[in-house]
Structure 1
Amino acid sequence: MEQLKTSIQPWIKNSLTDGIFILSPPFIALLVVALFPVQFKNSALMPVQYWVILIVMIDVAHVYSTLYRTYFNTAELKRQPHVLIGVPLFCYAVGVILYIAGGIFFWRALAYLAVYHFIRQQYGFLRIYSRNEDHSTLLRYIDNTAIYIATIYPLLYWHFSSYKKNFNWFVDGDFVLFHVDGLLAIAQIGYLLTIALFILKEIWAYIKTRQFNLPKNLIVLGTFLSWYFGIVYYNGDMAFTTLNVVSHGIPYMALVWFYEQKKFSNNKTPSTGFMKITFSKYGVLSFVGVLILFAYVEEGLWDGFIWKEHASVFGLFSGLPSISSDTILALTVPLLALPQSTHYVLDGFIWRMRKQKQV
């Protein structure tokens, strides 16, 4: 049997690092969930230690990795000042207006913005790993359809299914639910047909070229598995959060690290002392440490001012006053959420700043 031509695989960094940090997270997360089905499938409660790892150290931390592509990067600050200044101001102003109209409108807008960001990340990885393929427009369209269907069908199931969901994206009621089983049945047919079409396309492409794009297919498979099992199969907050956060946050942080570290190693970016240390050979500890520090402070402020749920974790912030005034909440909540909303919007700009085939 002819061996796969691994030498032409379009890795971002190399097979080992891509495999560990970008391609394997959804599979590892699914394995963990599958090994403990009772705890994950219907559990609405999450142990505090597990919550810290998932939410603080991965979910919130990955948001701050955008800093290394933007505000920590003097070259980008000089190149795109209007974007990097205007986006957070715009996000905050819109957030305040939405919260004044009603807190649920703010959370709903943030939830759907987050969903769009999560979907586009999977599409972005698909395009990165497809960058060397010389396929027709039709074949690329099939790839694009597959990655979008992998994410959109579970969301349609979430919106249209009559089954009660034991999880939410941010807060209860942030998604608008319709419970229309007929539309869901049509979506399911399209979902299964897309899977079949993608598999047939890959078989045909391999027969024609004798090449198999391993990382691209792992991205597609991992997306299908993490979104289906996280939303459709397992009906629990722990399962959804694990598959959702791990599959998204770790690859994003890895991509930022790979991208910026390569630029610094090639002397394409002016090096300040902090950035030089961060993107040195062993600077990943500095990179991750700064992200976790920012995430801890943000979540501490949330817990001190708003939630009051994890005093054992955020003891430094337990003395902060709980905010009850609607006016102050309308000014404070969008401010605390500003790292997230800015991250979601800026992500649509920062990866388009340079048109290049290699990451």
Structure 2
Amino acid sequence: MRTAPAMGRFRLSSPVWLFGRTVDLSVFLGPAAAALLLVAVAQRQGWLDHETPEWTWVAGVLLVDVAHVYATAFRVYLLPSEWRRRPWLYGLTPALALVLGWAVASESEAWFWRLLAYLAVFHFVRQQYGWVAWYRARAGERDRWGAALDSLAIYLATIYPLAYWHAHLPRNFWWFLPGDFVGLPPALASCLAPLHGLALCAYALRSVLRGIGSGFWNPGKDLVVATTAACWYVGIVALNSDFAFTVTNVLIHGVPYLALTWRYARLTGQPSWQPRSPWAFGVLFLATVWLLAYGEELLWDRTIWHERGWLFGSARIEGNRSFWLALLAVPQITHYVLDGFIWRQSSNPQLRVLLEQQPVADPVAQLAVPRLSR
């Protein structure tokens, strides 16, 4: 990896990518382009004013959004060495999620969904920021003003649409269930709108001027900011459609995460039983997370929703509704919580395998390795 001294005094011969140019374009630009193309097609077909088609739910929600939650297993629960490193965190998180979730659901199902929705929103926002932070680290960017502008741009790209949503309730879409968000004054969104535009324009201007002046380009980071801004604005602000929100929300969130966990597993060689062929491991990886996602949604449908008999059958599972709500939300909550720990560079030096793109036999055993030098 190339590192850089103070910003503005260096020149990179080629742009820095996180996974590689082809993969980065595929997992960041690809889902965003597909989502916006689907929105355009849906507008022509008249789907935007109707319920989301079932095929969209299967392709977007089941195979991407739910499946990516289980990809966390390839970063934590299938790695004995990682288990040994933080057993309390990895063991107590799902246990506490079940206990606390059950307690809340028993008191108020509405508050259960509301708290879960806001936890999910926080997770979605932070993940987009996380990609920007990863690209900064990969390129060796360490200037504070640049970091502040990057943070401002990516946070406003997500927070402004959310503020607009809260200020214009009810919408024709929701996070989990109708009423899971609390209404806010429209003035809040009105105040954030110009800041949103200014931050994104300032980010774009700085990127162009820096590239022309110093020869430094970070196209992957620019791509994350641009696709996040476009998809969140189109899916939440520009359109009032469940279809538009679904495709613009889940694809740019889940697909890159699946690629990240797959890449980490390949570079570390863990779990040890993975096939040597990257294609064979890719098939095994996707088959595993898709099977687990289907199993979870089958239980949701048979215990709570009873909506998709054509996919999950008509049989019902009886039992305590509050318990089932809490139990089935455990994978989501665990994913949301652990994601704030397992990809943090400061406490996971083994993640250098992603920044340096160098295979390591057992990265967890090499935690004494210092962080990347300046």
Give deviations 1:70-107, integer Å, cap 9, x for gaps. Answer: 11111111111111101111111111121122001110
Aligned equivalent of 1:74: 80
Give deviations 1:1-35, integer Å, cap 9, x for gaps. Answer: xxxx8853222221111211233211221122123
Matching of residue 337 in structure 1 with residue 329 in structure 2: yes
Matching of residue 158 in structure 1 with residue 177 in structure 2: no
- Provide the rounded CA distance (Å) in 2 between the counterparts of 1:278 and 1:94: 41
- Provide the rounded CA distance (Å) in 1 between the counterparts of 2:211 and 2:155: 22
Aligned equivalent of 2:3: none
Out of 94, 100, 103, the residue aligned to residue 106 of structure 2 is 100
Paired letter, 2:77: Y
**Correspondences of 1:1-359 after superposition (within 5 Å):** 8-39=14-45, 42-131=48-137, 132-161=139-168, 164-178=170-184, 180-264=185-269, 269=270, 271=272, 273=273, 276-277=274-275, 280-315=278-313, 318-323=314-319, 328-352=320-344, 353-355=347-349, 356-359=351-354
CA contact (8 A) 1:44 1:167 kept: no
TM-score (norm 1): 0.89
Deviates more, 1:192-201 or 1:334-343: 192-201
Aligned equivalent of 2:366: none
Deviates more, 1:94-103 or 1:199-208: 199-208
Identity across matched positions, percent? 38
CA contact (8 A) 2:32 2:248 kept: yes
- Provide the rounded CA distance (Å) in 2 between the counterparts of 1:281 and 1:7: 31
Give the drift of 1:41.
Answer: 6.7
Give deviations 1:182-229, integer Å, cap 9, x for gaps. Answer: 222111111111122212222332233122211110110000001000
Structure 1 unaligned regions, length at least 5: none
With over 3 angstroms needed to count, the CA separation of the structure-2 counterparts of 1:279 and 1:297, relative to structure 1, is farther
- Provide the rounded CA distance (Å) in 1 between the counterparts of 2:199 and 2:271: 46
- Provide the rounded CA distance (Å) in 1 between the counterparts of 2:13 and 2:38: 31
Q: Secondary structure at the match of 2:280?
A: coil
- Provide the rounded CA distance (Å) in 2 between the counterparts of 1:134 and 1:125: 14
RMSD: 1.9
With over 3 angstroms needed to count, the CA separation of the structure-2 counterparts of 1:270 and 1:320, relative to structure 1, is closer
Paired letter, 2:206: K
Structure 2 unaligned regions, length at least 5: 1-10, 355-374
Give the drift of 1:135.
Answer: 4.7
- Provide the rounded CA distance (Å) in 2 between the counterparts of 1:81 and 1:34: 47
- Aligned pair count reads 340
With over 3 angstroms needed to count, the CA separation of the structure-2 counterparts of 1:73 and 1:135, relative to structure 1, is closer
With over 3 angstroms needed to count, the CA separation of the structure-2 counterparts of 1:7 and 1:322, relative to structure 1, is farther
TM-score (norm 2): 0.86
Give the drift of 1:322.
Answer: 4.7
